[in-house]
Amino acid sequence: MQKVTIKDVAKLAKVSPSTVSRVLSGSPSISDDTCKRVKNAVKELHYTPNTTARSLRCEKSKSIGVVFPDISGEFYATCASAILKYARMSDYTVLFTESGHNLKAEKDSIKALLERRIDGIIFIGDNSDIPLIQSIAAQSIPIVTGDRKVGNIPSVTFNNRETVQEMVDSLYKSGCRKFMYVGETPTGQSNLLNRYNGYTDALKKYSDTTSVIFLEESLHGDKLKTARRLFTKKIITSLPDVIITSNDLIAQGIISAAHENGINIPNDMQITGFDDLISSAYFIPSVTTVSQNIDELAKRCFSMLMDLINKKSAVSSIIEQNIISRSSAKINI
């Protein structure tokens, strides 16, 4: 590794380490001459500052931690990329950790972040260990949640509940009466819970409808495969007019299984997804879905966290979703 320290630079530039440090941090009270000498020495020795030492001394690390359930999904991966972008602009580094669907892993990953002395945490994890998260906030370690609501921790969320209501209303108006909902069991993820609640909210208004609900634990795993199985095992025998799903992959799995069974979408049955995955626009038929501005989510989470880190107050906010009406279901908005 690097062996060049600020002392070596100081020696070559014939100044004290303090002065080198001042030049490096852009302190104003430095004569032009010494400034130049130091900068030349830095270049000559290929000096790379040691942020570990800086962090220890300054008691802040200029790094943040981000907890995802699993960084490989398109939604989280896109979010990770956007967070990296905003962090880069502010010269922060990002430590990503995965909590899986596992309370212990979530605890462990938060512990790891705390040991690294990150300056703050963006929590977009799965189980939402509420006591743990609240105890972190109570220790006045900056923490915000994204796409989830945990107690009164500052958060950025989407208006899932209203969006699903709107979809159901529109589908009802266009003639749908047999409804179905397919989604993951919502354990601790307020976004999933709100999608489901929006569905039941809306249907309460209509007395001439039927509703079948599948909340499947296994949909947390391989959504495409599980959805396909669900369709051929349980749905095909009595098709609804429309299926509202909590995720594009679930919708795609059902569409693919329906196609194999000679069922035409949207003619025989309609279906909607969530998340507007890239593939959904190009799927055949293209998938009617809900797009969420992930860049905006990342931006607000990051800037809210910066506010907290800089001792300013952070204000939670809600981002409006957009219904994207495509071939798999006609929704008028």
Q: Which residues bind DNA (CB under 7 A)?
A: 3, 5-7, 14-19, 21-22, 24-25, 28-31, 33-34, 47, 49-50, 53-54, 56-59
Phi/psi of residue 233, each to 5°? -85, -40
Helix, strand or coil for residue 313?
Answer: coil
Instruction: Choose the contact partner of 17 out of a copy of itself, DNA, none; CB within 5 to 8 A by kind.
Output: DNA
Task: Identify the residue among 16, 25, 48, 238 touching a copy of itself (CB under 8 A).
Answer: 48
Strand ranges for the chain from DSSP E: 63-68, 93-98, 120-123, 143-146, 155-158, 178-184, 210-216, 242-245, 270-272, 289-291, 317-319, 322-324
In the complex, minimum distance from the CB of residue 168 to DNA, in angstroms, rounded to a whole number = 54
In the complex, minimum distance from the CB of residue 172 to a copy of itself, in angstroms, rounded to a whole number = 29
Closer CB to DNA, residue 31 or residue 139? 31
Cα(298)–Cα(301) distance, integer angstroms: 5
Closer CB to DNA, residue 112 or residue 281? 112
**Total residues binding a copy of itself (CB under 8 A):** 57
Closer CB to a copy of itself, residue 116 or residue 173? 116
Binding flag, residue 263, a copy of itself (CB under 8 A): no
Is residue 196 within 8 A of residue 186, CB to CB? The reply is yes
| 111: β partners | none
Cα(271)–Cα(255) distance, integer angstroms: 8
Helix, strand or coil for residue 303?
Answer: helix
Which of positions 133-192 make contact with a copy of itself (CB under 8 A)? 139-141
Helix, strand or coil for residue 308?
Answer: helix
Applying CB under 8 A, the residues found at the interface with a copy of itself are 1-2, 48-53, 55-56, 59, 61, 63, 70-74, 76-78, 80-82, 84-85, 88, 93-98, 111-112, 114-117, 119, 139-141, 224, 249, 252-253, 255-256, 259, 277-279, 281-284
